Structure 1
Amino acid sequence: MLQSKIDAPGSSFPIASSREAMDALVGIVRRQMPVFIITIGCIGLLALAYLLTTPSKYAASGLMLIDTRKVQLVQQQQQVVGDAPMDASSVQTQIEVLKSENISLAVIKKLKLDEDPEFIGTGGGLLTGVRSLFSQFLPPPAEPSQYRLQRNALRYFEQNRLIARVGLTYVMELRFTSTDPEKSARIANAIADAYSVDQLEAKFQATRNASVWLQERIQTLRSQVATAEKAVVDFKAQNNLVSSNGRLVNDQQLSEINTQLVTAQAASAEAKARFDRIQEVLANPLAEGIVNDAQRNEVIVKLRQQFNELQSRESIWAQRYGRDHLAAINLRNQMQEIRRNISEEYQKIAQGYRSDYEIAASREAALRASLATVIGETQSTSQSQIQLRELESNAQTYRTLYDNFLQRYMESVQQQSFPITEARLISPAAVPLVKSEPRTLIVLVIAGAFGVIASFGIAFLREFSDSAFRTTAQVEETLKATCLGILPALSLKAAKRSGPAPKPDQRLISVADSINSYVVDAPFSPFTETLRSLKVNVDLAPHRQSNSVLGFTSTLPGEGKSTISSNFAELVAHGGARCILIDADLRNPTLTRSLGPHAKKGLVELVAGTAKLEEVLLRDDRTGLFFLPTGDTRRIVHTAEFLGSEGMHAVVQDLRQMYDYVIMDLSPIAPVVDARMTTRFMDSYIFIVEWGKTKADVLEHAIANAPEVYDKILGVVLNKADMRKLGRYERGRSDYYMQKYYGRYGYLTNDRA
């Protein structure tokens, strides 16, 4: 029967907190430490082999400025085509020019790199060495042509050259990598020189071509200018057009009168606005800040002040004695007199505004009459003026073109005699003192990082591909049954001989191999303590009867079920209970070979009725345990039917009445079906799983084929655990834990389990 149904998560290693995650990660590292050492070591050796076999290379770098500013002589000249400030795309264009084959081939020819073994592929190296070993067995290669040598040198040159812009500046970094440090610096500087020469040649050729074309164009423009200017002079003479300072007299008069008329119109409008405003003010002379002249008039200002004082006093008298009081009436009469005086002052100001407006209007009318006269005179010569302006415009256009082309021609002539380039080497490449390739530290760091990553990958692959049972959580998740304990693996040193083998006529258990009675020899060991915990679980089982029939089984042979069943029976008997151990594994009677090799009869004869119980039982005189061997199984062909027979059932029922515990060592459930036939009389099963060996898929398949056994499973025991490794999977279950805490009671023996 099942003891618990645990809804475990899908993972075999559930992690609920960061602390558990860290513990799991540390556990993986500790468990897979050989993988880490081997993987990191192999990658480290490959990195060292790479460092030892790769030839050292040296990178020389120089800085070249593409400066758009000219020297002072050139700054005084007008910019010609191509001298505009450079933008980002122009700088990128110059980078591509530096990378062009023209520059590269110029450097190769100058330094004769097509004859250098490093560049044409005949230098040292691993591939060349291997090729030389087989050269005697191969036909001699054909002599490469000069073109092929040059292309090979160009390919190697471009692979080891680096040209890049420094940030957002106009500075370019020229870098070249070579096995010879001096050669790398020489080539880097040669790239800058080749670029400067290429730019100078390109500018010289462009200027030369432009000069030839400009000279031809200037001759044409010179004749066109002379013709256009002569046409202007002839037209003026024919139409009697008099000009002053380049303009006709009528045009000058018309412009001046227009200017004066605009000024007169503005003055007239301003005077009329002031006059209109004073007329509005006369309706309310006491309004505040409405006419600037009124605000500057001292008489009006004083009268306003007197009016405000009288108004204030009148308000006070009217509130105290009423508006009909004589004093209030007198005050209002005085206020009326002051208002009349203010109005008279405003009338004087209005008369001045009227006079100004009449004068401005008269001047405007006179200017309009003069303008009409001049316009009449100008209309008579308007058609002639239009033709004159067209002729002057053509002459001016030709003159401007002629002057511009003449200036550019002079500049091109000067540039031919004084060529300059925007590029200059601001930091020549120096001979490097330290190799740039291979970078030992970076290679080692990358190898170490890759080794760690690969180690973790392999470790995690091994971890998650490991389906063997190693923790109680895995057992409970797979079987949905309680894990009753984890038993340590017993070493051969634990199987101490405790006495001589019994004689054939004695009804005693053999103690030649005491691994089956280890609990008696080491009563205070962790192994024995775990079996005590198992007994407590058996005694506290919810449906346990007073006399229990308990079966021990496993998935596959060799998982230790016989050893555990024997030791459990010895522990129970040593505690004073009446206990009998039955070897019911008729296919492979391991307990019979160990505890009763001298027995002639056993369970087979007892069930068949050919022997009595007292004739087949063996006894351990140290613990009082009774053992029932299998007997002669050679005649039993159908062992499953034998275990499920009525005779077997009757024998078990009789033993249940005689003993407190009936413990049966059964066959494993995966290879044979014998254990399934015992469910008829079995109270519960203890399922044995070998730690680190039993696969989850095998166990699940076996359990699925034996549902009768599964329904009566009391619990699972993990056997043969490596207690040193167990602590890496489950905290608190390691050998260190057992010795540190269990040993405080003074009972821990020197035997390790």
Structure 2
Amino acid sequence: MGLDANMQEPGRAPSGGRAEPALRVEELDLRRVVSTLWRSKWVILMLGLAGLGIAMLYLRSTVPLYEARAEVLWEVAKPNIVDIDPVASQASAASDFLLLQSQIKIVTSSRLLGKVVDEMGLAERPFFNPFAVPPEARSPDLMSLGGILTALARLGLDLGAPEPADPPAAKQREITIDALARSIGVSWVENSYVLVLSTSTPDPRLSADLANEIARFYILDQLEKKFEATRAATEWLSERVAELRLELEAAEQTVEDYSAASELISEEALAARARQIKEMRDRRRDLVERRRDLRGDSTVISDLRQAENFAAIADRLRRPDLVDLAGEIADAPDDGVRAAVIARFDRALLQITLGIEQNAKRAEAQIAALGGSIASLEKELEVQSKALVELRQLQREAEASRLIYESFLSRLKETTVQEGIQQPDARMLSDAWVPDWPSKPKKVAILGLGAIAGLVAGVSIIVLREKLNATFRTAGELEARTGQAVLGTIPLAPLPRRQALLDFLAKRPGSSFAESIRNLRTSVLLANIDKPPQVIMVSSGEPGEGKTTTCVALAQISCSLGKSVLIVECDLRRRNFRRVFDIEHERGLLSVLSGRMRYEDVVHVEESSGMHVLPGERSSVNAADVFASKRFAEFLQELRGHYDFIFVDTPPVLAVPDARVIAQHADALVYVVRWNRTLRETVAAGLRTFAQVNARITGVALTQVDMKDMERYGYRDFSYYRTAQRYYQN
């Protein structure tokens, strides 16, 4: 259960130790809701009838529209007459949702609708073009300044405004196209490729014709699109084929010119030349190795001769004669013989050495000759290779140009053939029929919605009014939201003026008002059975809540118990007792407290009931200071010894601090709340003010309750009122 921000849950004490009053959220009472709605049934019914009337006026002012529907089938997998890929490809089974939705945009495009407008002359029909009606027959548009001035001029109030001129024909055509777009509907049938075209106009025949015409123009638009695409492709291909033919001729001529200008040999001869160069390189490499071996042998032989290693020379040269001479040298008996043999060995070795040198020179000459030949052949081969590569590149370019030219030429012939075999992607599935009944407005639905809207508005207003009510209407609500016991519910007394209160209670002791006061008195006395209250204080949060009337009535009713009763007026600012009782003197409570007058000389005795009345008195002294004085407390203590009940009427607690001061001396505190008048925030603030000074509130009382009005409200707290009337003597 929720709590208001300024109240706390009952029974829970704040940090200061005193219990704060609480406002609780009231639970939903269906019976109360139904009773509230039943009480306001005529208001709800009138609003429902008003909504129904508005709907009827709307229907009378609305032109009935007849809807016609045509269906177009989008053919996804249509076979070609010839096996040629079309220039403008049709939809396939793989077409997605966006492709289908784009067809709706095509149908509603201004270009297509403009053709329909021109074909059917819709710009001359007032439904699509309001300017087709003569100016004097047009209804003024009250939503624009020009329309308002026109309406005033027709009423005879010429404000000098110039007559607006009709827009030009081009602008009227745009207006007609926009009106046609608003009057058509396009949608796809779910899980199919069927496009539904619907049109709504005041003329059933026109609706059917429009639907069929839009479908026809949609199909024609597809054909035109394909024809235009094929025609544009043919023109472009023709231009491109002519360009490619020139490029092919130029490429072939370049190949021929290059072949004639360059001295090219065949590829086989070029390969043989490359093999020849390789062989010459191998021969030169062999000669180089031979020259290196010869010179190596010459060097080794020279080194061995200096070392006189004749046997090694003979072995290296592998000459039998040298082997024999080397043996003789080794076997020479003396130096003379040995020197002669060595001379013979050197002569033989010299011949051999000269032969080696000649062979080396001959190899070197051959190497030089082969090097020149190889260089010449390599240079010639390089030139021939580059020329051959260039020729091959030119030939490939010419071949590529030829392939492209043949491809474009073939596509040109195919496209030329397609111009005569184009088919639309859609076909008419069913023509629109002339409708027999208008489709708009839906009279029954609009009348029902109007009545329901009125009823809902009425219920909403009543519920909102109840929700915005921030007062108390039942004792249960008051108790639930404040956490205080409700001691009584006091009905509104039928008094012409406050002075008649005492006479009313005396003459009608059995009235419902008197019985409610007795019930309040009983509740106060039984609030503490062990120690019945003697000083009973009555207060409220703000003026006009009935605290004085309640206090006086409690005092007079208590006199019937045979008890001595005193009522003290502590509201020194307003002093209402002199308007209730016939008090002649001006002296009162302050004169007794100050000692200027004796109590017996100031108190007023009501003859009919024997009740004693101590009125208030005007003074310049602050009333709160008076009630906070020690003398006031002693005076109340003295009165306790003379009276059984002392009722104290205090000023509102939220207005002045007097009530909080007096509450410290009271045995019981009755807080009154005016029915259907006092705000919840005011009650919460008043109770919180008493709680701040630790004043214990005995309970609250709901005053000035209009029982008959409560019965009409349907609150269960007062459901007994009608059945209990026989017990009252009103």
Partner residue of 1:369? none
SS at match of 1:23: helix
2:116–2:217 contact (8 Å) kept in structure 1: yes
Partner residue of 1:628? 613
Q: Residue deviations 1:338-361, cap 9 Å, x none? A: xxxxxxxxxxxxxxxxxxxxxxxx
1:93 Cα deviation after fit? 3.5
Q: 1:678 to 1:141 in 2, by over 3 A?
A: closer
2:65 paired with 1:57: yes
Of 160-169 and 57-66, deviating more is 57-66
Q: Residue deviations 1:198-251, cap 9 Å, x none? A: 233334455566788999999999xxxxxxxxxxxxxxxxxxxxxxxxxxxxxx
1:581–1:625 contact (8 Å) kept in structure 2: no
Distance 1:68 1:681 in 2: 99
2:10 paired with 1:5: yes
Instruction: Return the letter of the residue paired with 1:528.
Output: A
**1:157 counterpart (174, 180, 183):** 180
Q: Residue deviations 1:257-312, cap 9 Å, x none? A: xxxxxxxxxxxxxxxxxxxxxxxxxxxxxxxxxxxxxxxxxxxxxxxxxxxxxxxx
**1:117 counterpart (107, 117, 126):** 126
**1:412 counterpart (399, 414, 418):** 418
Instruction: Return the letter of the residue paired with 1:531.
Output: I
Distance 1:130 1:432 in 2: 37
SS at match of 1:63: strand
SS at match of 2:432: coil
**2:655 counterpart (660, 671, 674):** 671
Instruction: Return the letter of the residue paired with 1:579.
Output: V
Instruction: Return the letter of the residue paired with 1:733.
Output: D
**1:430 counterpart (433, 443, 449):** 433
Partner residue of 1:275? none
Task: Give runs of aligned pairs for residues 213-362 of structure 1, distance below 5 A.
Answer: none
Distance 2:533 2:219 in 1: 107
**2:117 counterpart (95, 108, 113):** 108
Distance 1:530 1:103 in 2: 85
Distance 2:21 2:207 in 1: 63
**1:595 counterpart (581, 590, 614):** 581
Consecutive unaligned residues in structure 2, runs of 5 or more: 1-8, 13-19, 246-402
Instruction: Return the letter of the residue paired with 2:141.
Output: L
Q: 1:79 to 1:599 in 2, by over 3 A?
A: farther
Instruction: Return the letter of the residue paired with 1:185.
Output: A
RMSD: 4.4
1:602–1:617 contact (8 Å) kept in structure 2: no
Q: Residue deviations 1:591-617, cap 9 Å, x none? A: 332222446655455444524527733
Partner residue of 1:748? 728
Partner residue of 1:321? none
2:605 paired with 1:618: yes
1:691 Cα deviation after fit? 1.2
Partner residue of 2:681? 697
Partner residue of 2:337? none
Q: Residue deviations 1:393-418, cap 9 Å, x none? A: xxxx99x9999989967973762xxx
Instruction: Return the letter of the residue paired with 1:147.
Output: A
2:31 paired with 1:23: yes
Distance 2:647 2:633 in 1: 14
2:10–2:21 contact (8 Å) kept in structure 1: no
1:737 Cα deviation after fit? 1.5
**2:141 counterpart (119, 123, 127):** 127
2:488–2:702 contact (8 Å) kept in structure 1: yes
Aligned residues: 539
1:552 Cα deviation after fit? 1.1
**1:737 counterpart (716, 720, 723):** 720
1:661 Cα deviation after fit? 1.0
Distance 2:694 2:710 in 1: 27
Q: What's the TM-score once normalised by structure 2's chain length?
A: 0.63
Q: 1:611 to 1:44 in 2, by over 3 A?
A: farther
SS at match of 1:698: helix
1:40 Cα deviation after fit? 5.4
Distance 2:722 2:693 in 1: 36
Partner residue of 1:178? 201
**2:546 counterpart (553, 557, 560):** 560
**2:473 counterpart (470, 474, 491):** 470
Distance 2:663 2:463 in 1: 41
Distance 2:709 2:165 in 1: 66
Distance 1:56 1:686 in 2: 70
Distance 2:194 2:22 in 1: 60
Partner residue of 1:388? none
Distance 1:413 1:713 in 2: 103
Q: 1:441 to 1:591 in 2, by over 3 A?
A: farther
Task: Give runs of aligned pairs for residues 463-612 of structure 1, distance below 5 A.
Answer: 463-472=466-475, 474-476=477-479, 479-492=482-495, 513-516=499-502, 518-542=504-528, 545=531, 548-598=534-584, 602-607=588-593, 608-612=595-599
Distance 1:10 1:63 in 2: 70
Instruction: Return the letter of the residue paired with 1:618.
Output: V
Q: Residue deviations 1:9-37, cap 9 Å, x none? A: 9875422xxxx442354355457768756
1:516–1:564 contact (8 Å) kept in structure 2: no
SS at match of 1:118: coil
Partner residue of 1:338? none
Larger Rg: 2
Consecutive unaligned residues in structure 1, runs of 5 or more: 222-396, 496-511
1:554–1:687 contact (8 Å) kept in structure 2: yes
1:185–1:430 contact (8 Å) kept in structure 2: yes
Distance 1:617 1:83 in 2: 112
Q: Residue deviations 1:656-679, cap 9 Å, x none? A: 222211112222222233333423
2:673–2:700 contact (8 Å) kept in structure 1: yes
Partner residue of 2:333? none
Distance 1:443 1:168 in 2: 32
1:568 Cα deviation after fit? 1.5
Instruction: Return the letter of the residue paired with 2:170.
Output: Y
Distance 2:525 2:114 in 1: 95
2:646 paired with 1:662: yes
Structure 1 vs Structure 2: percent identity of aligned residues? 25
Q: What's the TM-score once normalised by structure 1's chain length?
A: 0.61
SS at match of 1:711: coil
Distance 2:203 2:37 in 1: 45
2:26–2:481 contact (8 Å) kept in structure 1: no
Partner residue of 1:382? none
Of 59-68 and 95-104, deviating more is 59-68
Instruction: Return the letter of the residue paired with 2:695.
Output: D
Of 554-563 and 578-587, deviating more is 578-587
Instruction: Return the letter of the residue paired with 1:165.
Output: W
1:163 Cα deviation after fit? 1.1
1:573 Cα deviation after fit? 1.4
Distance 1:10 1:441 in 2: 52
Instruction: Return the letter of the residue paired with 1:537.
Output: S
Q: 1:513 to 1:413 in 2, by over 3 A?
A: closer
1:63–1:172 contact (8 Å) kept in structure 2: yes
Instruction: Return the letter of the residue paired with 2:428.
Output: L
2:539–2:659 contact (8 Å) kept in structure 1: yes
SS at match of 1:596: coil
1:569–1:625 contact (8 Å) kept in structure 2: no
Partner residue of 2:252? none
Partner residue of 1:300? none
2:21–2:688 contact (8 Å) kept in structure 1: no
SS at match of 2:219: helix
1:191 Cα deviation after fit? 0.6
1:120 Cα deviation after fit? 3.1
